[in-house]
Structure 1
Amino acid sequence: MSTKADDILKRFEGLQQADDEPEKEHTLQENAKQRALKPDHINAGTAFDWEDMEAYAKELERLDREGPGIRKP
């Protein structure tokens, strides 16, 4: 085969692979599902929720250091 025919064949194969992938939705519901699958970055809640979450994280760190038991001031 010639070089031009090879290029055309490669393009055709690339187009076929692109068509095999389902088109992704960009709806609010689909975006919410994607965020729920990756909860590493939480971007919601009130200031009070964040304060509670920070206190909970500190408590977990304390439990890792000291273990369960009576809380030391």
Structure 2
Amino acid sequence: MIFKVLYQENPSEIPVRERTKSLYIEAETEREVRDKLIDRKLNIEFIQALDDAHLEYEKQSDLFKVETV
């Protein structure tokens, strides 16, 4: 399953929408996503499992790239 992760790069600051970034990662569960990203020290705002329709929509973006961890 592909998950979309919304995050801030600086974990010590409060989230600001204009600085929110996203990445895509393959995992079985949300917990597995968090475990894979723990060493990156990100301020994770939200993790969303993408269904087929949403995944196809996200693939249309030039920024879509599934991270390998």
Query: When the two structures are superposed, what TM-score results if normalisation uses the length of structure 2?
Result: 0.23
User: Which of the two has greater helix per residue?
Assistant: 1
RCO higher in structure (CA 8 A, sep ≥6): 2
Flag the structure with larger Rg: 1
TM-score by length of structure 1 reads 0.22
